[in-house]
Amino acid sequence: METPTNFDETELKADFARLKAEINKVIIGQEGAITGIIIALLAGGHVLLEGVPGTGKTLLVRTISKCLSLDNKRVQFTPDLMPGDITGSLIYDNQTSNFDFRPGPVFTNLLLADEINRTPPKTQSALLETMEEKQVSIDGKSYPLPAPFMVLATENPIEFAGTYALPEAALDRFLFHLEMPMLSMEEEVQILENHANGFNPRKLETAGLEAVLTAEQLRAAQQFVQQVEVSTEVLHYIVALVRATRNNPAVELGVSPRGATNLLAAAKAWAWLQGRNFVIPDDVKTLVLPTMRHRLRLSADVELEGMDANHVLTSILNNVPTPR
């Protein structure tokens, strides 16, 4: 495995700590979502952000874009959005009498897919190849996407009129499903104080945000993360957790092998951020819920009883033996 010799590992870890501090200049609370996105950046995965309107989903993504020296684009998903509006399409050139490919907004480093559940499945599926293969195929020709490439999709959990639930194949391609809950009273007061002092979320350039990382630094950090060691016992623990979801009577569809590899990648990134070059079982346990909850399909009876994926996964964590 190639070693990123041009960068100091300790300095890169400090840069990621600075990244979180820069984000906190704008985003109050939501520490779980912020940390989750940073882990996903290191693991090379995609993130589905879920929260009611006004919890700062889009603002969080815009803030992260400002703090990284990366190209970013935003797509507002609507019922009339077509696949070519995302990936790009062939355009006829009258001068050359040829069809030329015009890249869509997916050709960027950070793609904000805003309200992804408001567009039909045909358009949602246009993201599948880009998220998994990091390329777009048009008329038999493949066009690679920039590296790094990450999709940050937002979803409103309470409005169902005019929405289309993401299919399992699409959900499985997100590393994390991060929830953005309502804030505490103290955090909401802090937000009002910031606005009273002149903060304008529509003008982030006035918030004093600084770009902390470049694409080259991020790729180097990802290489360091790949070098984090994982013992056989931890690998067996991940498999045991995944298989427990498939054998649970409350679950109709359990976690796929892709989910297991995603949990492994996330645990390695979290261990690296914690200053270790090896994964411990607690790293895995910390990341089970955001990595697995969107990959479960619960039985109808269980959902009628008021249980959700978090309840089921917590029960599995309590019952699967933790290696020493």
- CATH number at 248 reads 1.10.8.80
- Whether 123 and 241 map to the same domain: the answer is no
Residue 133's pLDDT band, with cuts at 50, 70 and 90, is confident
What 8-state DSSP symbol labels residue 190?
A: H
Q: Tell the residue number behind the tokens 């498999």, with chain if given.
A: 239
pLDDT over 70, % of the chain: 97
Whether 221 maps to a domain, the answer reads: no
Residue 227's pLDDT band, with cuts at 50, 70 and 90, is very high
Nearest CA among 57, 68, 70, 234 for reference residue 149: 70
Segment 104-118 shows an average pLDDT of 89
Whether 80 maps to a domain, the answer reads: yes
Segment 124-152 shows an average pLDDT of 86
Segment 202-221 shows an average pLDDT of 86
Which of these three, 215, 249, 277, is where a domain ends? 215
> In the chain, how many domains are there?
2
- Whether 201 and 239 map to the same domain: the answer is no
- Whether 201 and 62 map to the same domain: the answer is yes
Cβ contact 166:117 at 8 Å: yes
- Whether 172 and 245 map to the same domain: the answer is no
Most confident listed range (100-104, 120-124, 169-173, 281-285)? 281-285
Concatenated DSSP letters for 273-308?
A: HTT-SB--HHHHHHHHHHHHGGG-EE-HHHHHTT--
- Whether 13 and 47 map to the same domain: the answer is yes
User: Which residue range forms the structural domain that includes residue 29?
Assistant: 1-215
Residue 158 confidence (pLDDT): 67
Residue 57 confidence (pLDDT): 82
- Whether 177 and 252 map to the same domain: the answer is no
Q: Which two tokens stand for residue 323?
A: 């290696």
Which of these three, 184, 215, 246, is where a domain ends? 215
- CATH number at 57 reads 3.40.50.300
Cβ neighbour number for residue 90 with a 10 Å cutoff: 14
Q: Does the structure show a pLDDT above 80 at 220?
A: yes
- When mean pLDDT is compared across 168-177, 224-233, 267-276, the lowest value belongs to 168-177
What is the overall mean pLDDT for the chain?
88
- Whether 155 and 195 map to the same domain: the answer is yes
List, in order, residues 6 or more apart from 44 with CB less than 8 Å away. Answer: 148, 150, 222, 265
pLDDT over 90, % of the chain: 42
Which of these three, 188, 215, 242, is where a domain ends? 215
Segment 35-59 shows an average pLDDT of 89
102 three-class SS = strand
Residue 228's pLDDT band, with cuts at 50, 70 and 90, is very high
- Whether 189 and 303 map to the same domain: the answer is no
Residue 107 confidence (pLDDT): 93
Whether 223 maps to a domain, the answer reads: no
**Strand order in 72-76's β-sheet?**
72-76, 110-114, 150-155, 47-50, 176-179
- Whether 209 and 235 map to the same domain: the answer is no
Cβ burial, residue 7 (10 Å; 0-12/13-18/19+): middle
Whether 46 maps to a domain, the answer reads: yes
- Whether 165 and 264 map to the same domain: the answer is no
pLDDT digits (tens, 9 = 90+) for 191-206: 999 889 888 888 877 7
The dihedral built from the CA positions of residue 313, 115, 64 and 4, taken in this order, carries a sign that is positive
- When mean pLDDT is compared across 140-149, 155-164, 286-295, the lowest value belongs to 155-164
Nearest CA among 301, 297, 52 for reference residue 166: 297
- Whether 195 and 305 map to the same domain: the answer is no
Residue of 269 and 125 predicted with greater confidence: 269
pLDDT digits (tens, 9 = 90+) for 251-284: 888 999 999 999 999 999 999 999 999 999 999 9
**Extended beta strands in the chain, E state:** 47-50, 68-69, 72-76, 88-93, 98-103, 110-114, 135-138, 141-144, 150-155, 176-179, 213-214, 251-253, 297-298
Cβ burial, residue 253 (10 Å; 0-12/13-18/19+): middle
Q: Does the structure show a pLDDT above 70 at 96?
A: yes
Q: Does the structure show a pLDDT above 60 at 97?
A: yes
Nearest CA among 123, 152, 207, 172 for reference residue 34: 152
Cα–Cα distance measured from residue 35 to residue 32, given in angstroms and rounded to the nearest whole number:
5
Residue 174's pLDDT band, with cuts at 50, 70 and 90, is very high
Segment 127-151 shows an average pLDDT of 86
How many CA atoms does the CB half-sphere of 16 hold within 13 Å?
Answer: 28
Q: Tell the residue number behind the tokens 């050709």, with chain if given.
A: 107
Whether 220 maps to a domain, the answer reads: no
Cβ burial, residue 3 (10 Å; 0-12/13-18/19+): exposed
- Whether 107 and 160 map to the same domain: the answer is yes
pLDDT digits (tens, 9 = 90+) for 34-45: 999 999 999 999
